[in-house]
Structure 1
Amino acid sequence: MHNTRSSRGIQDLVDLFDCFIVDQFGVLHDGMRPYPGAVDALVMLKRAGKTILVLSNSGRRSAPNEQRLLRLGFQIGSWDYFLSSGEVAWKRLDRLLRERGGAEPLKCLLLARGGDRSAVEGLPLEIVDSGADADIVLLSGSMGDRFDMDHYRRLLEPAAARNVTCICTNPDKIMLTEVGPRFGAGRIAEVYAEMGAPVMRIGKPFPEIYQIAVEMLGHPPAIRTACVGDSIEHDIAGGRRAGLPTVLVGTGILDTLSRAEKAELFRRHGAAPDYFLPAFTW
């Protein structure tokens, strides 16, 4: 990997950085269970005096994501902050809807995973089942392990025909599931955009979520803040655009890719990582 330094574990980077911005899916766990050594690595990193912010392209708000980490076996107190794209989107929507004042609630077509409603809880939105009725589409998750893309096309075509804005709160194009990698919400958003309708994306690799993360960390020196992730397109490209050092792990969506295939992704996205770890272990 050109210009990328290989390390055995996160311990090798402890003296280089004060703050770690760590992705969850593909780095800490696969959605069903922690990766071997990840629980202990997070604990040891915190014991080493580091500040840790878990940064996720999850359409769910931050609190449900933290609760999931605890259910998976991660230890309370082994991270300092959690920020999800769903949290950023919820706060932005809350602000915009408050500015609308006493107008009738917007009709929202919500596309989420597993019936999750945290993306809209507490917001003055009327949830509808058809794109034909929607004033806004909120795309917070994919059920790509249950439905094919044609299902989403049929659902979204009536909204696209009316030029309804889609807010995608999970830009990941690939997600990890029990049946293997499947298309994520970010890919559904691409299809909606291909229909000619407007799409607003919130999350990695876009600047806003990194600005909020750095603010939560207290604006530490960029050179002492590392972004750790498994997605070259989202974690590595996003961290580099934010001016932060990046650490790529070989688990998650890259697990089956060859060295040459990774190099091609570096070239395509213009984002080679500064460091490579086989996995998020101590």
Structure 2
Amino acid sequence: MKQTSLTALIDRFDTFLLDQFGVLLDGAKAYPGAPEALAELSRRGKSVGILTNSGKRAGPNADRLQAMGFDPSHIDAVISSGEAARAVLSGRIGSSLARSAKVLVLSRGGDVSCIEGLDLTPTEDTAIAELVLITGSRGEEISLDQYADLLKGPATRGIPALCTNPDMTMLTERGPAFGAGRIAQLYRELGGKVDEVGKPHPLIYQVAIDRLGAAHPARVLCIGDSPAHDIRGAHGAGCRAALVRTGIHADEPLDQVLADAPPGDHPDFVIPSFAL
């Protein structure tokens, strides 16, 4: 593991997979210098993908980045766990998931884009739900105990859950809060079964590598702020990984961050921020 800078790494890699929150965005706005750094990667002919555990589909994530000052022409692809999960759900309809099955969607802002256009029916009634879809957390507004009260019934009845955002912590305008991954963990604690799509699981990396035409994963650099998600997932896909010192661990000493992570979650590089 080497502490270095983004500038020193640019020419060593052909493709860059960037986390969204913690690398480009702080939960409310773009980090200083991030739009300019993204522009420089594009200017040098690098393939750039945004690889995010957002439970929303690619379009809303791309729109948010543009609204925060990022030029969409500098981004070759946005790959979200919500987009990958939609493909998973589509494949299950008519087999393990009944057509028009009733789905309890836990999200932010009432987003149900993950199932829009699919033969599934959103419901807020936990008593009739046939699937729990965990796409986002409202952890800054709703306590974990409140989520437990909501989910106890479906978990007890053996209703399966799919989590499209495995992040345990998220950045919000009010500061860090528990993420959708923590809700998935809670569902397991209540006795339910959960499948997960997103970092560090391999499916989303394969989608990203294929989308960007990256023939050699070792020439791909993944940049993220979470050892357990971004670094572990990158190494599992055969890519190199850089830990950025912004995001969820920004206030923790690096030695402590790495001491809490198993060896496989240690980055190849550490950079102070996604800026030149």
Structure 1 length-normalised TM:
0.94
Deviation at 1:62, TM superposition (A): 0.4
Question: Equivalent residue for 2:45?
Answer: 49
**Alpha-carbon separation, structure 2, partners of 1:278 and 1:12:** 12
**Alpha-carbon separation, structure 1, partners of 2:99 and 2:15:** 44
Kept in 2: contact 1:27–1:35 (CA 8 A): yes
Which of 268, 271, 275 is residue 277 of structure 1 equivalent to?
Answer: 271
Secondary structure at the aligned position of 1:14 is classed as: helix
Structure 2: which 5+ runs fail to align?
Answer: none
Deviation at 1:277, TM superposition (A): 0.6
Kept in 2: contact 1:230–1:248 (CA 8 A): yes
Matched, 1:6 2:3: yes
Question: Equivalent residue for 1:178?
Answer: 173
Kept in 2: contact 1:131–1:157 (CA 8 A): no
Deviation at 1:99, TM superposition (A): 5.5
Which of 145, 151, 155 is residue 150 of structure 2 equivalent to?
Answer: 155
Kept in 2: contact 1:165–1:197 (CA 8 A): yes
Kept in 1: contact 2:220–2:240 (CA 8 A): yes
**Alpha-carbon separation, structure 2, partners of 1:100 and 1:164:** 12
The one-letter code sitting in structure 1 at the alignment partner of 2:39 is V
Matched, 1:261 2:256: yes
Structure 2 length-normalised TM:
0.96
Which of 70, 94, 104 is residue 74 of structure 1 equivalent to?
Answer: 70
**Alpha-carbon separation, structure 2, partners of 1:31 and 1:176:** 5
Question: Equivalent residue for 2:91?
Answer: 95
Secondary structure at the aligned position of 1:116 is classed as: coil
Deviation at 1:89, TM superposition (A): 0.5
Percent sequence identity is 43
1:228-282 CA-partner distances (Å, limit 9, x unpaired):
1011100001101111110110001011111232122333x63110011100002
Q: How many residues align?
A: 276
Secondary structure at the aligned position of 1:15 is classed as: helix
Q: Give runs of ≥4 in structure 1 deviating > 6 Å.
A: none
Q: Which moved more, 1:228-237 or 1:91-100?
A: 91-100
Question: Equivalent residue for 1:225?
Answer: 220
Deviation at 1:116, TM superposition (A): 1.2
**Alpha-carbon separation, structure 1, partners of 2:77 and 2:254:** 33
- 1:59-70 equivalence runs, <5 A: 59-70=55-66
Secondary structure at the aligned position of 2:49 is classed as: strand
Deviation at 1:199, TM superposition (A): 0.2
1:67-110 CA-partner distances (Å, limit 9, x unpaired):
01001111121111110000000122123226579x65101111
Structure 1: which 5+ runs fail to align?
Answer: none
1:134-189 CA-partner distances (Å, limit 9, x unpaired):
10000000000001001110110000011100000000000001111000000000
Question: Equivalent residue for 2:80?
Answer: 84
Secondary structure at the aligned position of 2:51 is classed as: strand
The one-letter code sitting in structure 1 at the alignment partner of 2:141 is R
Kept in 2: contact 1:11–1:45 (CA 8 A): no
